[in-house]
Amino acid sequence: MLTAMRCKEPDVLPIHIRGVLAWNEEWVATRHPSYRPVIEIVAEHGDYQAAWSPGTNQFITASEDFSTTTERTEDEDWIYTKTTLHTPKGDMTSAYRTSKRGLPGMQMEFYVKQPEDVQKVLSIPYVPPQPDCSGFFELDKKIGDRGIVMASIYDPIAYVHDLLGSETIALWSILHRDLLMELLEVFTERLTDLVKYMLSQGVGPVFSMLGEEYVAPPLHGAADFKAFCTDFEPRITRPVHEAGGLWHIHCHGSLNDFLEDFITIGANCLHPLEAPPMGNVTLADGKRRLGGKVCIEGNIQIGDIYHAPTEQIVQQVKECIDIAAPGGGYILGVSASPHTEVLTDQTVKNYVALVETAVEYGR
């Protein structure tokens, strides 16, 4: 997998089945029995990508000059949690609802609602965090040669999104763009400091970043992507490259209009590079434009894994290998994790066929 991420050709095609944590005993123990064949074949043939997070808070600060209080209510279907953030310049509130029936949760209210709320966020003092990195090395020892452990962070726009939400970001990209840029500058500085600290502790060589999809089409256009991601993120990725490390970036969406921006950002591996209809970059075009510069991981759609005829999956795997594996810089993968409590027989069959075909055809 490291060879592929360095855009060289490995002797065996890397196969990564996203979201199937075959090495994680707790995760395995909590899966429905229908997952068993998928876990087993990934354990036998898959390459692992394990993620470790430094576990910083929403503001990336070690300051204790703020606090939160929570209120919880519930009805027949939902648990509602209201959180009040107490900052030096005043209180802010957010709200989240959690399903009692296994449905996805939903953020109902974000902290930042008005322009003046930005100053409340910025009133929280910045004390560079120095998280305990021992968990990275424990996980790296556990994974061993079966895969890689990636030090995983969110990008600056993801932190801004978690404070504002997609709707407010969209409105402020026109009405209060200066405030977005101010927040992006703050989080870029803090994330750069965090990455440098992790490097000083020996973390690496692979780091991962995600969140770019918050401003990728269809939510925003190429100009916003450049302004909110491309112009900031090289400052975060540069220290890792200077240390000889690599960056894995996960970004859904239609990336055609700014695909080469991921080179500028500093990506060494891009996942999942979605072809139509979910995205707008074919694997062949992505290979032509990124080949030798950015490894591609993908691009079998999770929807096809769930619903397509198995013969189609087999054919897709062979086509992906034919198009992207020659010359290196390719990891066969699925666009997303399995997301249902129970896997149907068809889904299991497709996962198994994907791996078996890749093992045989990817030699």
Q: What is the tens place of the pLDDT at every residue in 282-310?
A: 999 999 999 999 999 998 999 999 999 99
Mean pLDDT of all residues in 114-143? 98
Is residue 120 pLDDT above 90, yes or no? yes
Token representation of residue 43: 């354990």
pLDDT tens digit string along 313-345? 999 999 999 999 999 999 999 999 999 999 999
Is residue 4 pLDDT above 90, yes or no? yes
Helix axes 310-324, 345-361, angle to 10 degrees: 30
Of 283, 270, 177, 274, the residue nearest 231 (C-alpha): 177
Please give the Cα distance from 79 to 95 (Å, whole number).
Answer: 11
For residue 348, give every residue at least 6 positions away whose Cβ sits within 8 Å of its Cβ, in sequence order, or none. 34, 37, 38
Is residue 363 pLDDT above 90, yes or no? no
pLDDT tens digit string along 132-182? 999 999 999 999 999 999 999 999 999 999 999 999 999 999 999 999 999
What is the value of pTM for the model shown? Answer: 0.95
Is residue 104 pLDDT above 90, yes or no? no
Please give the Cα distance from 25 to 192 (Å, whole number).
Answer: 33
Contact 337, 291 (CB under 8 A): no
Of 188, 198, 64, the residue nearest 131 (C-alpha): 198
Say which residue the tokens 């759609």 belong to: 301
What is the pLDDT, as a whole number, of residue 157? 98
Token representation of residue 119: 């100053």
Contact 245, 266 (CB under 8 A): no
Mean pLDDT of all residues in 21-34? 97
Token representation of residue 99: 């399903």
pLDDT tens digit string along 212-269? 999 999 899 999 999 999 999 999 999 999 999 999 999 999 999 999 999 999 999 9
Of 217, 209, 289, the residue nearest 249 (C-alpha): 209
Is residue 102 pLDDT above 90, yes or no? no
Contact 248, 272 (CB under 8 A): no
Is residue 115 pLDDT above 90, yes or no? yes
pLDDT band at 191, cuts 50/70/90? very high
Contact 149, 143 (CB under 8 A): yes
pLDDT band at 24, cuts 50/70/90? very high
Q: Which fold has domain 2-62+128-361?
A: TIM Barrel (3.20.20)
Q: Where are the domains of the chain?
A: 2-62+128-361, 64-125
